[in-house]
Structure 1
Amino acid sequence: MGSVTTLAILRGIAGLASLATVMGLLARWSWLCELASHFCVQYVWILSLSGIALLILRQVPEGLFAISMALLNLLAITPLHRRAPTRKAARTYRALMANVLSGNQAHDKVHRLLRETQPDVVVLVEINERWLEALQPLTDTYTFTNHVLLPGGFGIVLLSRVPVERTQIVRLRATGLPLLVVGLMLQDQRVTIIGTHPVAPTNPFRTKHRNQHLADLAEFVLVQNRPTMVLGDLNTTSWSPGFQHLMRRARLRDSRVGFGVQPSWPSMAPSPLRIPIDHCLVSHHIIVHQRRIGPHIGSDHYPIIVDFSVL
């Protein structure tokens, strides 16, 4: 390949990644721009490597521009890597969330995961009748279970091994999709756990639908007046306007902070190509001690595992 062709390819790659970066900044005003906002990590790698290559080829202006755009994306990622101050607590609990994929037949992998990790609270989404039947043996360990079944992959189940104070299924006003809400007693405190799964933003209508789901979720969290944890496949990353509105309005914190991006979807892609759409969000009364991605369970999502305490 000639140097002219190589240079043209590098310029094209850097130009497209730069354009996508700018589109991501305009996510509030366009569905396509909103989709572009989810790939900050990938843009960092693409722009950094193409920028360095352009500098090596003595294309200084283009190389510096590509690297500056990489740094712009890096600014969005950096907060997730800042270690939050740790505080001691009397007891640590574990929560696990997974999108199990409705058609996934690897029920034994989920059983094994729960046996090995021993979570106190479990939220599983994309649950159907087959999955409910497969989870039945776990009721000896998880003495409380509640679920809501909906077509289209929107079923949710919550399992708990700790005392339950209350349970309810809340249908969101604008979207009709459910929040599975459970009140638990943790360290003699009432804690609200919310499981949820909005639609994927595959077109402008569904993007609006998902954003309204997140906005209604924020209003529900805001009136809880107790430590609250949201667990679910939110079909958005930390960098979308809808997600950021949820965090600000509901005064929640991303459990990723201090532990990195931890991309969870799609599971068939290598880690650098995945994006983080599976979430654990907490109110300021909840301290996250550890957060990690679990093993592959046959789904297109990886599970997330969070160790936490209640102040």
Structure 2
Amino acid sequence: MTLLILALATLLSVVTLLPLSGSHAWWVRMWDFPRVQIAIAHALVIALALWFLSGPWLWVTLVPMLAGLALHLWRIRPFTPLARREMRFAPHRDDGAEVLLLAANVLMQNERHDLVRKLVEEVDPDVLLLMETDRRWIENLKPVLDRYPRVLALPKDDCYGILFATRLETIEAEIDYLTSDETPSVWAELRTRSGRLFRFVGLHPQPPVPGVDTEQRDAQILYASRFARKSDVPLVTMGDFNDAAWSATSRLFQHYGRFLDPRIGRGLYASFHATNLLIRCAIDQFFVTDDIAVVDFRLGEYTGSDHFPVIARIRIDPDEARSLNRRPPPMTEEEREEIDARIAEYRAGLRRPKPQDAA
């Protein structure tokens, strides 16, 4: 039993320390995701050590396990009711300044098109973002897409197709590539029914899997945050980031773009994996700048995908938003220069796709 406990403690110490290295290697970054599960494993090893070990072996095990558990709990804590909330929800008022948004990774191989159609019909969002859409998905969703005067679609058979639809006045909307890989993003400038301008960014970068490191994913996420920092127009971004909410990249994205997260102080809202509780993690993200008030934020019902949909109602009212939201901490000049330099490394690879515009 002693050898088993020591082996488990060593393994947990390694997977805890690897993400701190800053490496982009997929086999390093993958350990950003299961922090909750790793924290539970730490607690179990601590219990086993207290029960079975004594003398030096007990302390050799307890010290790294307690330190690792503290690190994981520190990263997870903001996404629990123990943390102070960044945003207070605004009351619902049907005055034309509110926008209802729905983002869902439909899972390209998913055959339950009817469940996604039902979701869109019931939520009836003003802005719709769907990911992993191929031509079959777009054809099967046509009955609900016909409701929208503006639809942009880039069907792909590699799990990185994307679809954007809105009934709001559209100043500009396009599907673009932020990095040199094959994962497109959505950019749009829209007006609420009351005439208030805001911007929307939809992202779906690649996850860290064998053969795919995270340089491109991190660049895509950070480049989107730069878009927010360069503008004084309210901005909302959502999508399947394929990155844990507590990862270094997500935290840097939030800090650099001065974004707020309604999950802080409320809960994980873990959206993936929809059918496997053991590996569930918060990788579908929703961030807004501090001049946007959030009225509601929740996960949708199961649609046959491995992701739960993300549903949010926002209010474009900077005065009300600033009375409800905490001001993000300012960046230092050193931080800004470092991130600008990091983003500049990837700009040369940007390309334009040829989306299907159904407007």
Percent of aligned pairs sharing the same letter: 26
Aligned AA (1:75): W
Equivalent residue, structure 1, for 2:7: 12
Q: Could you give the per-residue CA deviations for residues 57-80 of structure 1, whole angstroms, max 9, x where no partner exists?
A: 354523454233212101001112
- Say which structure, 1 or 2, has more relative contact order (CA 8 Å, 6+ apart): 2
Cα deviations across residues 211-266 of structure 1 (Å, max 9, x unaligned)? 22223323333334311111211111123333333223222223422332222223
Task: Tell me by how many angstroms 1:30 deviates.
Answer: 4.6
Choose the corresponding residue for 2:47, options 42, 47, 52.
52
Q: CA deviation at 1:47?
A: 0.7
Deviations along 1:199-219, one digit per CA (max 9) or x if unpaired, are 222246542222222233233
Give the letter for the 2:289 counterpart: S
Q: Is the 8 A contact 1:51 1:64 kept in 2?
A: no
Residues 49-97 of structure 1: CA deviation (Å, up to 9, x unaligned): 2212322335452345423321210100111223334153645433221
Q: Give me the whole-angstrom Cα distance separating, in 1, the residues matched to 2:290 and 2:123.
A: 25
Change (3 A) 1:77 1:288: farther
- Unpaired stretches in structure 2, ≥5 consecutive residues: 318-359
Residues 177, 119 of structure 1: alpha-carbon distance in 2 compared, 3 angstrom cutoff: same
Q: Shift of the alpha carbon at 1:290?
A: 3.4
Contact 1:149 1:156 in 2 (8 A): yes
Shift of 1:307: 2.8
Report if the CA contact (8 A) 2:90-2:294 is conserved.
no
Counterpart for residue 19 of structure 2: 24
Instruction: State the alpha-carbon separation in 1 of the partners of residues 105 and 90 from structure 2.
Output: 31
Work out which of the residue numbers 179, 182, 196 in structure 1 matches 2:185: 179
Mind listing any 5+ residue stretches in structure 1 that lack a counterpart?
none
Matches within 5 A, 1:90-239: 90-91=93-94, 92-172=98-178, 174-175=180-181, 177-186=183-192, 187-203=194-210, 206-239=213-246
Change (3 A) 1:88 1:274: closer
2:86–2:262 CA contact under 8 A, matched in 1: no
Q: Compared with structure 1, are the counterparts of its residues 255 and 203 closer, same or farther at alpha carbon in structure 2 (3 Å cutoff)?
A: farther
Amino acid of the structure 1 residue aligned with 2:233: R
Structure 1 length as normaliser, TM-score? 0.87
Distance in 2 of aligned mates of 1:261 and 1:155 = 27
Structure 2 counterpart SS, 1:259:
coil
SS across alignment from 2:163: strand
Count of residues paired in the alignment = 305
Residues 174 and 213 in structure 1, CA contact (< 8 A), matched pair in contact too? no
**Which residue identity does 1:298 align to in structure 2?**
G
Aligned mates of 2:66, 2:288 — CA distance in 1: 34
Alignment partners' CA distance in 1, 2:71 and 2:248: 17
Shift of 1:148: 2.2
Q: Mark the CA change 1:132 to 1:144 in structure 2 (over 3 Å): closer, same or farther.
A: same
- SS of the equivalent of 1:182 reads strand
Q: Give the match's secondary structure for 2:141.
A: helix
TM superposition shift of 1:154:
1.7
d(CA) in 1 for partners of 2:235, 2:220? 17
Query: Structure 1's 49 and 287: CA in aligned 2 closer, same or farther, altered over 3 A?
Result: farther
User: Is the 1:14–1:46 contact (alpha carbons within 8 Å) kept by the matching residues of 2?
Assistant: no
Q: 1:147·1:180 contact (CA, 8 Å) conserved in 2? A: no
Q: Using the alignment, how far apart are the partners of 1:222 and 1:175 within structure 2?
A: 24
RMSD between superposed Cα atoms in Å? 2.5
CA offset at residue 98 of structure 1? 0.9
- Measure, in 2, the Cα distance between the counterparts of 1:47 and 1:290: 35
Secondary structure class of the residue paired with 2:158: coil
* Counterparts of 2:26 and 2:143, CA distance in 1: 43
Aligned amino acid, residue 197 of structure 2: R
Q: Answer yes or no: is the 8 Å Cα contact 2:89–2:294 preserved in 1.
A: no
Cα distance change of structure 1 residues 204 and 109 upon mapping to structure 2, 3 Å threshold: same
State the alpha-carbon separation in 2 of the partners of residues 173 and 30 from structure 1. Answer: 17
CA deviations over 1:88-132 (Å, ceiling 9, x no partner): 364543322111111211100111222333333221011111111
CA distance in 2, matches of 1:22, 1:79: 20
Instruction: Measure the CA separation in 1 of the matches of 2:26 and 2:118.
Output: 39
Letter of the aligned partner of 1:241 in structure 2? A
Counterpart secondary structure, 1:299:
coil
The alignment status of 1:37 with 2:48, answered yes or no, reads: no
Residue in 2 that maps onto 1:78: 77
Contact 2:244–2:281 (Cα < 8 Å) also in 1: yes
Q: Which amino acid aligns with 1:250?
A: G
Q: CA deviation at 1:138?
A: 0.8
